[in-house]
């Protein structure tokens, strides 16, 4: 397969999205409705990520309290939770990107259609509504992206623990991970808080669109 330049790839993806939006509009499903659904999907993925990161933390806490038994079995659980956390984080990012895609398309269409009004009064009202919606959307997207960026350092720390335990299946490794547990706990709690802020913002944004 030949290399596809990033700009060309972006254009191809954009073209696919445009085709999708046009097809959906033909059956009465407009960009505003798609945006509401995608924001709701992003909200759900963040809630699932909250639960997943909490589960990963709980598994590490079990590890720090390890007092005999099959350490390799405990490692398998830690590794599984890490992989699930990566998958959950990827889903969050994908959902946010989809929100941004349809929002850009909606606002571009809205702006273009302002010129089609015959009534100056209605046009001005619609224009103001557009500006207000964009401000509210940007506030929501900012909180979503902030929560998204908070996942990466947590994933790196989870990966460090998984790798260290993988190559050091002994009590000393458990002790080393336990020494860093409090810091990881704080980072995950902060991440969950950031995600909750994004979830709350998404709920407010949906209410304005509805």
- Residue 15 — very low, low, confident or very high, per pLDDT cuts 50/70/90? low
* pTM as predicted: 0.86
Degrees to nearest 5, angle at CA 148 with 145 and 150: 115
d(CA 157, CA 159): 5
CA angle 85, 90, 93 (to 5 degrees): 125
**pLDDT at residue 14 in the model:** 53
Structure tokens at 195: 């995600």
- How confident is the model at residue 1, as a pLDDT? 36
Structure confidence at residue 3 (pLDDT): 41
CB 56 within 8 A of CB 133: no
**Domain residue extents for the chain:** 31-209
Across the chain, what does the average pLDDT equal?
Answer: 90
- What does the pLDDT look like over 54-105, one tens digit per residue? 999 999 988 888 877 788 888 899 999 999 999 999 999 999 999 999 999 9
Percent helix, strand, coil in the chain, to 5, is: 90, 0, 10
């Amino acid at each position: 397969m030949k290399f596809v330049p990033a700009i060309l790839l972006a254009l191809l993806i954009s073209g696919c999205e445009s085709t999708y939006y046009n097809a959906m509009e033909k059956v009465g499903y407009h960009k505003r409705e798609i945006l509401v659904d995608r924001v709701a999907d992003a909200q759900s993925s963040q809630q699932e990520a909250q639960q997943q990161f909490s589960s990963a933390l709980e598994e590490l806490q079990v590890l720090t309290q390890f007092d005999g038994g099959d350490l390799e079995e405990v490692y398998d659980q830690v590794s599984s939770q890490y992989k699930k956390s990566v998958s959950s984080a990827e889903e969050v990012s994908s959902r946010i990107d989809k929100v941004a895609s349809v929002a850009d398309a909606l606002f571009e269409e809205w702006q273009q259609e302002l010129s089609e009004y015959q009534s100056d009064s209605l046009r001005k009202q619609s224009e103001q509504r557009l500006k207000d919606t964009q401000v509210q959307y940007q506030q929501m997207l900012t909180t979503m992206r902030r929560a998204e960026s908070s996942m990466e350092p947590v994933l790196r720390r989870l990966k460090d623990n998984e790798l260290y335990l993988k190559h050091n299946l002994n009590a000393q490794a458990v002790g080393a991970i336990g020494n860093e547990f409090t810091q990881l706990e704080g980072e995950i709690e902060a991440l969950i808080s950031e995600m909750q802020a994004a979830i709350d913002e998404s709920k407010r944004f949906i209410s304005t669109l509805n």
